[in-house]
Structure 1
Amino acid sequence: MEELTKFAPRPNGAGEMFQLLRDGRPRTRSDLAAATGQARSTIAARIDALMAAGLVVPAGEASSTGGRPPATFAFNPDAKVVLAVDLGATHAHLAVTDLASRVLVETDQLLPIAEGPDVVLSWVKTAGDKLLASAERELSDLAGVGVGLPGPVEHSTGRPINPPIMPAWDDVDVPGILRSHFKAPVLVDNDVNIMALGEHRAAWQDVNDLFFLKVATGIGAGIIADGALRRGAQGAAGDVGHIAVPGAAAVQCRCGNVGCLEAVASGQAIAATLAEQGLEARSSADVVTLVRSGELAASTAVRQAGRDIGAVLAACVSMLNPSIVAIGGIVAEAGEHLIAGIREVVYQRSLPLATQHLRIVTSQTRGEAGVLGASAMAVDHVLSPEAIDAFVA
């Protein structure tokens, strides 16, 4: 056994060193040697391997106090691309990004998830191919695919688990279906989880505890705690849409219970309330349009929805103690009416210590949160130390 260990190949460690370069800041060989404690000859060999793989490029010369200025090296986010897929209850949003999750090209489509996996995933394949061509990239340039689905997902397998609004999707091998077409690793998660990840990476990197609430056709949340996304034992963490609202009417929810937050305060629920009043409202988008046009009944209904959301969110704030609560989804585009209703109740009902420094804000990434998060999820996988070591080998 000792002889086998003696001659076993050692990992080159390029993947671990590469993580230091992912922030994009140019560094010299001396900088990297000081940060890792490795010999400069080792650092030089790892830089050469990463440059050969296209992941690192020369970045000019650093200032010198005498003699020849040392060369610097930086992460090359253009080395590969990622396909980011954000699938909601009624829409699909796709983007091709670089390895720094910068969107290069994107497309949107009204596409009900209830159409089923055959229809929806076929569209993803076709649209993904077109986007890669639009970005002037080949399939061989695709490092990975990140996908968000509007239902519970077993993250380890990428398969939906009893999704309530996704008929025929239960236990479908989404990663396998897309991997066979795109020939790249496929990561799948709940859509609100990836929105939370996208919001955190793009707007609040210095915040360790963030709660992202999506208010659209349905209502769900993504939880960043201690800097990491929390999915829960079965991938159902953050399913606040099916928490009962205190004192709410016994409105039937699609989950089978009554008085759920989603049944009384989602975009679809607000639209139904307004339709009963004789207004033209069939969807979340219609609600936003009515509010923006100055329709008083719509503004009042959205503010009341904010209060109902706040009643549930107050308990979440007291339990999780986030620094930021970011409100996203199409209903958040109705302006301050929703946020005002949420703040009114959360600050009144949550523990004073939990709200002392709490900020409740509209999502900074708006409609991009999903694709940014899907990209970040895929990028984290393909640029992990283990993946980089395998790639440069």
Structure 2
Amino acid sequence: MEGLAKFPPRPTGAGEMFQLFRNGAPRTRASLVAETGQSRSTVAARIDALRSVGLLAPAGEATSTGGRPPSTFAFDPASRLALGVDLGATHARIAVTDLAGEPITQIDEPLAIADGPDRVLTWVAETGSKLVTQAGRRMDELAGVGIGLPGPVDHSTGRPVNPPIMPGWGGADVPAELYARLGAPVMVDNDVNIMALGEHRTMAPDVDDLLFVKVATGIGAGVIMDGHLRRGAQGAAGDLGHVTVPGAGDIPCRCGNSGCLEAVAGGGAIVARLRDAGAEVETTQDIVDLVRSGDVAAGQAVRQAGRDIGSVLAASVSLLNPARIVVGGILAGAGEHLMAGIREVVYQRSLPLATRDLRITPSEAGAQAGVVGAATLVIEQYLAPSSVDTLIAAKEDS
């Protein structure tokens, strides 16, 4: 992460030992000696090093088996903050979290990504700074900023790549722009990847193979395989929205191709069909509101969108064999109409072995998934063994 890189890594072993504390359980020196096989003096030195950078704190005393009760130590997630930013086509959510990914304070406001990087990133920086202050903390306590964008992102550089709904953003150096404003390391990914991370971390940490499908203005998927986010060679993994739907014909898509899933089943496509039928709808949220009010035509349109999404997901199920498909995004608010359409086709067209234990569920994390996932980008990097060793080295050199 930028901001840590100026100090050369010095493997101390403390970073690896710290991973034992990530589950939040207090440990004694003696238990660490038993778990690691290291000497008591080595364990004591590494605990001291981790306490010096604020990652460990005393956690009281363990039950005594005779004599003085031994002291325990635990991960202190409040020692630093992360800023999670989830930008959609027309909305923005920002949360300040601790190093366990628990939101401390957050905000959700309308914001058009089409306003361009200067205006949007200025708003992110100003709002993020205010939230840190509202949390009663200082900006130098910020471990980093994670941000999700509604378009393709080169994860290695953090720059958007030809994003279709983000005019003016192509090639924008988002990490550098936000680092200049906030003075903290910045990590960038596309919005569905961060939602997948957030859902996995908060609601399905034991599910190693998961697809998170976002259905909103656009359609995309975040791919969790073997417990890790998979981005693909150029970061384009999971771009379901531009897979051709069987039988879709020549319906034009904004990507330049025709018959894409987004052009057939995305929020914009459903709005257009309902308006042609005489309904008064302008946005994807209007569709959800109509479905919830019992509008038959809207319900049928959303169920058919579910079937179309299911036709593409069926191939993904056969290819990747996930244990769970989680559906989120604004259109998921339409409830069983969308879910029933997806399940109908996936279970019908995928091999029985692949669907035998497959669960297809709506998102449980909801709106929190994006901001928690964005914060997770920062947290996983900041607390990685090499990063912890670098923090300790920097502390020793200061």
Normalising by the smaller structure, the TM-score range is: over 0.9
- 1:250 to partner: Cα distance: 2.4
| Counterpart Cα distance in 1 of 2:385 and 2:180 | 25
For 1:128 and 1:171, how far apart are their aligned partners in 2?
Answer: 23
Tell me which amino acid in the other structure corresponds to 1:238: G
The equivalent residue for 2:135 is 135
Distance 1:17 1:383 in 2: 11
Counterpart secondary structure, 1:93: strand
Aligned twin of 1:272: 272
User: Deviations along 1:85-125, whole A, 9 cap, x unmatched?
Assistant: 11111111111000000011111121121111111111101
1:168–1:9 CA distance, 2 compared to 1 (3 A): closer
Q: Distance in 1 between matches of 2:181 and 2:383?
A: 21
Identity within the alignment, %:
64
Cα distance in 2 for partners of 1:131, 1:287 equals: 32
**What secondary structure, in the 3-state scheme, does the structure 2 residue paired with 1:214 have?**
strand
Residue 230 of structure 1: CA displacement? 0.4
Structure 2 partner of 1:103: 103
Match of 2:396 in 1: none
- Counterparts in 2 of 1:62-81, with a 5 A limit? 62-81=62-81
1:171-320, aligned counterparts within 5 Å? 171-320=171-320
Residue aligning to 2:3: none
The aligned counterpart of 2:13 is: 13
* Shift of residue 388, structure 1, vs aligned partner: 1.0
Letter in 1 for 2:202: A
1:120 is matched with which residue?
120
Secondary structure at 1:252's aligned position in 2? coil
**254-263 or 32-41, larger mean C-alpha shift:** 32-41
What is the Cα deviation at residue 11 of structure 1?
A: 2.8
In structure 1, C-alpha distance between the alignment counterparts of 2:264 and 2:298, rounded to whole Å: 14
Matched, 1:26 2:26: yes
Change in CA separation of 1:336 and 1:10 when aligned onto 2, cut-off 3 Å? closer
- The correspondence of residues 15-54 of structure 1 with structure 2, limited to 5 A, is 15-54=15-54
Could you say what secondary structure the match of 1:146 adopts?
strand
State the distance in 1 between where 2:182 and 2:381 align.
Answer: 16
Residue in 1 aligned with 2:363?
A: 363
2: CA distance, partners of 1:114 / 1:84: 20
User: Which AA in structure 2 matches 1:354?
Assistant: A
What CA deviation, in whole Å up to 9, does each residue of 1:36-75 have, x standing for no partner?
Answer: 2211111111111211222111111112221211111100
Which residue identity lines up with residue 318 of structure 2 in the other structure? Answer: S
2:148 is paired with a residue of what secondary structure? strand
Q: Give, as a single letter, the amino acid of the residue that structure 2 aligns with 1:80.
A: R
Taking the aligned partners of 1:9 and 1:120, their CA distance within structure 2 comes to 35
1:305-384 → structure 2 map (5 Å cutoff): 305-384=305-384
User: 2:77 aligns to what SS in structure 1?
Assistant: coil
User: C-alpha distance in 1, partners of 2:356/2:30?
Assistant: 44
Per-residue CA distance 1:249-295 (angstroms, 9 max, x = gap)? 42211001111100111112111111111111111111111111111
Task: Give the TM-score taking structure 1 as reference length.
Answer: 0.96
Residues 1:276 and 1:10: Cα distance change in structure 2 (over 3 Å)? closer
TM-score of the aligned structures, taking structure 2 as reference length:
0.95
Contact 2:149 2:190 in 1 (8 A): yes
- Quote the Cα distance in structure 2 between the aligned partners of 1:178 and 1:323: 37
Q: Sort the Cα spacing of 1:181 and 1:10 in 2 relative to 1 into closer, same or farther, 3 A.
A: closer
Give the Cα–Cα distance (whole angstroms) in 2 for the partners of residues 289 and 345 of structure 1: 25
The answer to whether 1:148 aligns with 2:148 is yes
- The offset of 1:367, in angstroms, is 1.0
Unaligned runs of 5+ in 1: 1-7
Say how many residue pairs are matched. Answer: 386
> Cα deviation per residue 1:1-21 (whole Å; 9 max; x = unaligned)?
xxxxxxx99632211111110
Greater alpha carbon shift after TM alignment, 296-305 vs 106-115:
106-115
Counterpart of 1:54, as a letter, is: G
Give unpaired runs (5+ residues) of structure 2: 1-7, 394-398
Distance 1:219 1:56 in 2: 41
Amino acid at match of 2:226: D
Classify 1:242/1:73 alpha carbon distance in 2 versus 1 (closer, same or farther; 3 Å).
Answer: same
TM-aligned CA deviation for residue 370 of structure 1: 0.6
Indicate if the aligned counterparts of 2:9 and 2:386 stay in contact, CA closer than 8 A. no
- Partner residue, 2:87: 87
Per the alignment, residue 5 of structure 1 pairs with: none
Cα pair 2:10 2:389 within 8 Å, conserved: no
1:380 partner letter: E
Match for 1:382: what amino acid? Y
Residue in structure 2 matched with residue 4 of structure 1 by the alignment: none
CA distance in structure 1 between the aligned counterparts of 2:311 and 2:10, rounded to whole angstroms: 55
- Structure 2: which amino acid aligns with 1:268? G
Distance, in Å, in 1 between the alignment partners of 2:10 and 2:262 is 53
**Match of residue 4 from structure 2:** none
Match of 2:60? Answer: 60
State the structure with bigger RCO (CA 8 A, min sep 6), 1 or 2: 2
CA distance in 1, matches of 2:264, 2:38: 59
Mapped contact 2:9–2:390 kept (Cα < 8 A): no
Shift of 1:312: 0.5
What secondary structure sits across from 1:189 in the alignment?
strand
